[in-house]
Amino acid sequence: MKRSSYIVLGVVSAIFVLSWVMKSMSLSEVDDSIMQGFLLTVSAFLTLSIFSFLYKDNPFYKFAEHLFVGVSAAFWMCQGFWSTLVGNLIPRVSESLSGFFMVPYQPGSFNFHYWIPVILGLLLLMRLAPKGGWLSRWPLAFIVGTTAGLNFIKYLRSDFIDQVSSTFVPLLGDETNKWTGVGDFFSNLSLSADSQFVALLANWVIFVGVFSGLVYFFFSKEHKGVFGVGSRVGIWILMITFGASFGYTVMGRISLLVGRLTFLFRDWLGLIS
């Protein structure tokens, strides 16, 4: 390590300790104020370490990253073990193991189908054995095949049948906005949400959008001529949709940033009430 690195580390450590002491003093009315002060300081330190990535990769970011990855990996492993194996499987298959893990044994609820995931799980672990690696392909095939089959039905309904039926829109107006002629249409022209113009426009956008979008995603024909025009309209409609979606999502992200800044300026520094 360079001398400058030692200086930076020393300054950050000093700020950390100073923050811990000051937060503990400001939380003196709270029980366990020293621990609360420590946790708040650690949270602020990790938040700033992650933010430091905006400058460039650095040891503080690396520390926060490795801590985050390690803790989360361990957390999800423990969660899977205690909720799936101990919480669901063991009470149904073994009284002695239930006693060992201190979970209520459920006699009479034993079913053979609980052993199927156990066997598949063990087969999955066979990839660790030098000669039994091929066995791990069976559970993989089972998982991928079963869920692909289930998704086929799900998507056929949601992305095909429901989409087709949603395209059955009245292009000349429905009961509330019945078409009564060009004269009436122009004389009642309005941009209010319940006007005939807006209702018809919405239906035409659905109609044109669906058709041109489908043309764009048609892979068996080159996009030339009339087909090419339809395809270009399709990509324009897609891009306008993506632009709207982009703006909407960015606003959501801004609120996340505001949440972290609020933590830093209110909970840690106490600069805002």
Partner 1 sequence: MKYMLRVLFSLVLFATTAVLAQTDVVESDSTTVVTEQTPAPVSMFEAKDKDNDHGHAFVLNWELSADDGAGLDNVLTYEVFRWTPNISDSIGIIDTLLNVAIVDNGPLNQTTATDAEQRIDSLMTAFLGPLANASAQEKGARLHELRAAYVERLAEVHSAYPANGYWRKIKVVPFGTTSCEDVGGKEPENSGYIPDFTDYYYRVDAVTADTLVRAESKIAGPVQSSGQWFNTGRVPVLCFVIIFTILTLYFVQAAKKGTDLYVRPLGGIEAVDDAIGRATEMGKPILYVLGLGSAADVATIASFTILGRVAKKVAEYQTELIVPTYDPIVMSVAQEVVKSAYYDAGRPDSYNEDTVFFVTQSQFAYVAAVNGIMLRDLPATNIYMGKFYAESLILAETGALAGSIQISGTDEIAQIPFFIVACDYTLIGEELYAASAYLGREPVLLGSLKAQDYAKAAIIILAIIGLIAGNLDWTGFTGLFEVTN
CA distance 120 to 122: 5
- Asked if residue 207 lies in contact with residue 171, where contact means CB atoms within 8 angstroms, the answer is yes
Residues 114-133 that bind partner 1 (CB under 8 A): 124, 127
* Beta carbon nearer to partner 1, 30 or 106: 106
Nearer to partner 1, 4 or 96 (CB): 96
CA distance 90 to 253: 42
CA distance 121 to 81: 12
Residues 212-231 that bind partner 1 (CB under 8 A): 214, 217-223
Residue (115 or 134) nearer to partner 1, CB: 134
Tell me how many residues contact partner 1 (CB under 8 A).
Answer: 73
Among 246, 262, 265, 270, binds partner 1 (CB under 8 A): 246
Q: How far is the CB of 35 from partner 1 (least distance, A)?
A: 24
Distance of alpha carbon 100 from the chain centroid: 37
Q: Which is nearer to partner 1, 137 or 266 (CB)?
A: 137
For residue 113, report the phi and psi dihedrals to the nearest 5 degrees. -65, -15
Q: Which of residues 142-161 bind partner 1 (CB under 8 A)?
A: 143-144, 146-148, 151-153, 155-157, 160-161
> Which of helix, strand or coil describes residue 62?
helix
Which of these segments, 23-31, 56-64, 185-193, 194-202, binds partner 1 (CB under 8 A)?
Answer: 56-64
- CA atoms within 13 A of residue 198's CA, in its CB half-sphere: 6
137 near partner 1, rule: CB under 8 A: yes
Residue with tokens 């209520």: 104
204 is an interface residue for partner 1 by CB under 8 A: no
Q: Which stretch binds partner 1 (CB under 8 A): 17-25, 32-40, 162-170, 265-273?
A: 162-170
- C-alpha distances out from residue 176 to 20, 23, 93, 203, Å: 66, 64, 62, 14
Site string for partner 1, 31-50 (x = CB under 8 A): -------------------x
Q: How many residues does the chain have?
A: 273
